[in-house]
Each structure stands twice: as structure tokens, then as C-alpha cells.
Amino acid sequence: MKSEDLMIGDWVRIIDDDTDAFFDAMVEGIDSLANIYATMPCDETAYPYSADCAKPIPLTTEILENSGWKHDPSVQRAMINTNFQRNNYLAMSWDSKSHILNISARRDCDINIPCEYVHELQHALRLCGIDKTIKL
């Protein structure tokens, strides 16, 4: 990954090139050398990692369900969705086969965007003004 594709708070998978061992971590910082800072699961200190060591985490229905999204049995496709009650109506649904995130605001605005990875969903939520924690 490139550091410019990430934001603080994004979930990534840090992979050791030598051993292929990995852990999932939240980006806690990005420096001017394009290193990302993340905390190992067994530690409390954020360490710098080359952005090349960070890989995107594939978005799955399990991750969405862990984060409070629900399956919609009325839809033929493998769709999972959630509603956000804000000033206006806002709903999101994700198709696990096409990896398309549909964002519906009010009833006259419908946007479809590719969303294959967790950090892409996090960016879409932030752009909609939603502060939602994604649970892996």
C-alpha cells in the first residue's frame, strides 16, 4: 500500500516480509518518510512500518456483521446493510459479490462505489460524516 492511500484510524494488515507473519492494526500515524505507525497486538507502543508492509484487509460480511450491519433477506443478492439516523435518512448496503457499496441519502441520492477493503469502507463512512468503529 501507499501511505497516501491511508488515514489515521484505518485498519491494515502488517505483514513481515521474512516470515509472512501478520497482524491487523489500526494506523496511528503517518510520517513524512511515508512510514505508518501501528501498535503490535502484544505491545502498547506504536512502531513505524514501511507502508510496503501494510496490506489492505478484505471487507467481508463477517466484519460488517461484527460492526452492526444486518443481512437483508428481501434482496436476492448477498446484501448486507445498515441505517444511520442523522439529520436526514442515510442507508448503506454492500454487495459481497460485486464489492459495491451503495449509499442512499434521502430518497433522491443514490451512489455506488467500489469497496473491497475495510479502509475503503472507513473512508466512505468518514466522507458521509459517520464516526463508526469497525470491528474486525
Of the candidates 92, 98, 101, 126, the residue with the CA atom closest to the CA atom of residue 6: 126
Would you give the DSSP letter of residue 63?
H
The region of weakest confidence among 32-36, 91-95, 99-103 is 91-95
Residue-range definition of the domain harbouring residue 92? 61-127
Same domain, 68 and 120: yes
The label of the residue with cell 433477506 reads: 73
* Beta-bridge mates of residue 133: none
Sign of the torsion formed by the C-alpha atoms of 98, 100, 132 and 15: positive
Query: Given pLDDT bands bounded at 50, 70 and 90, which one contains residue 11?
Result: very high
Global pTM?
0.85
Same domain, 122 and 101: yes
pLDDT at 95 over 90: no
